[in-house]
Structure 1
Amino acid sequence: MKKKYFIPFLIGNYPKNSKFIKILNFISKNGIKTIEIGIPFSESYLDGKIISDIYKKIKNFSLDDLLKSLKKFENIYKILVCYSNFIESIGMDFFLKKIKRKINSLLIVDQPLKYLLKMKKKFIRNNIKFVYIICTNNIKIINNTKNIFKELEKYNLCSHIYLINRLGVTGEKIKINYKNIYKNFIKISKLTRIPIITGFGINKNNFSFYKEKKINFVIGTKIIKYIKERKIKKLKKFIKKCIK
């Protein structure tokens, strides 16, 4: 089923709790298996203008309220996307304990694998996995991932390999080298059983490539733009197109 390849990105409890839950209900009823949820952070330098501007405007974000909103959606695999500063502000131990059994995996966008592996006992103790980011442009890393994957599989630490199309910020219009993406997708698939997702630069004009090649793909900026502009009918139509 093609719907399993599409992973929508949402901002936690945006634009407000009740509307966020309505969007989740729509996503759940349409059989989407995995979502990414961003935690608002004012210094989100890896996010594009649309998402970072929204993050800056969100005041008094409550992690407790977000977890409460997500509680009824146990059928959806939830990847929480955040910056390390947010975690450090409340402490890693406290943070992992709080999201335990409520969040499946964690994507810390500004921390390398080395940092995540140092924390492996904490991840294991709280039964939370993490997402490992690889850039398709970084051939050196891709060529030296076999031993890394062995360690990740040994401890069952990693939920997904996130193969990003280029270094930079989200939401930018970029020229995508589809041949290179598919080549690296196949290469990594042969080295590990860990599911691969891809993102950055994916939009309504090119997502069909990922569906055809059976590659999990994330779309965030387009979705957030629809929500920001209150174009919920267009959002629903777009989501249905992504899973068709």
Structure 2
Amino acid sequence: MNRINQLFKTNPKNILSVYFCAGHPELKKTVEIIRILEKNGISMIEIGIPFSDPMADGVVIQNASTKALRNGMYLNLLFEQLQDIRQEVKIPLLMMGYLNPIMRFGFESFCRKCSECGIDGMIIPDLPFKEYREHYQSIAGKFFQILV
């Protein structure tokens, strides 16, 4: 059973999932932030992928994304930072980001790198469900049990 399903099975009423934008407030603090969140009782973490046009987000996340990009965060660096995360962190981790940077990286390559880092799932808010079902579900299914 994957970590997300296990979390909901063992603790269905008291789950706290936290989002933060990778590379914010400082470029090299991503792993440290994840460790601190887990240590302080967070149940699951959504790691935000910074994007230059986060249209579905409010001003706080827009500003965090802008700052992370200015700090130099990009997907390859994020994957480098996360490559050994599972040696320390046991709670479910999800990547949350817009479709554009994921497609630039390559959808299957992105899924593969997430899986290699121990990421449990993805949230892509601007990926229409119909498009996901028709074009991406079979690819994502090779690497994840859950795509939100």
Query: TM-score over 0.5 for the alignment?
Result: yes
Counterpart residue number, 1:201: none
Q: Which runs of 4+ in 1 moved over 6 A?
A: none
Q: What is the CA distance between 1:33 and its match in structure 2?
A: 2.5
Q: Tell me the CA shift for residue 43 of structure 1.
A: 0.7
Corresponding residue SS for 2:116: coil
Identity, % of aligned positions? 27
Larger mean Cα displacement after TM superposition, 17-26 or 98-107: 17-26
State the TM-score, normalized to the length of structure 2.
0.75
Alpha-carbon RMSD across the aligned residues, in angstroms, is 2.3
Q: CA deviation at 1:69?
A: 3.1
User: Shift in Å at residue 66 of structure 1?
Assistant: 2.0
Deviation at 1:105, TM superposition (A): 0.6
CA contact under 8 A between 2:27 and 2:73: conserved in structure 1? no
The corresponding residue for 2:98 is: 83
Q: Are the aligned partners of 2:99 and 2:127 in contact in 1 as well (CA < 8 Å)? A: yes
Q: Which residue of 2 aligns with 1:109?
A: 125
Following TM superposition, by how much is the alpha carbon of 1:25 offset from its aligned partner in structure 2, in angstroms? 1.9
Checking the alignment, whether the CA contact within 8 Å between 1:84 and 1:110 is kept in structure 2 is yes
* Structure holding more strand per residue: 1
1:18-70, Cα deviation, whole Å (9 max, x unpaired):
43333222212233221111101011111111211232242332323323333
The reply on whether 1:31 has 2:31 as its aligned counterpart is no
Q: 1:77 to 1:8 in 2, by over 3 A?
A: same
Indicate whether 1:72 and 2:85 are aligned. yes
Structure with greater Cα Rg: 1
Looking at secondary structure, tell me which structure has more helix per residue.
2
Deviations 1:65-114 (A, max 9, x none): 32333332440211111111111212212211222232111100111211
1:1-244 matched pairs, under 5 angstroms: 4-57=14-67, 58-59=69-70, 60-70=72-82, 71-73=84-86, 74-102=89-117, 103-118=119-134, 119-127=136-144, 129-131=146-148
Secondary structure of 1:75 counterpart: coil
| Partners of 2:79 and 2:107 in 1: CA distance | 17
Q: What count of residue pairs does the alignment treat as equivalent?
A: 131
Report the secondary structure of 1:15's partner residue: coil
* Unpaired runs of at least 5, structure 1: 132-244
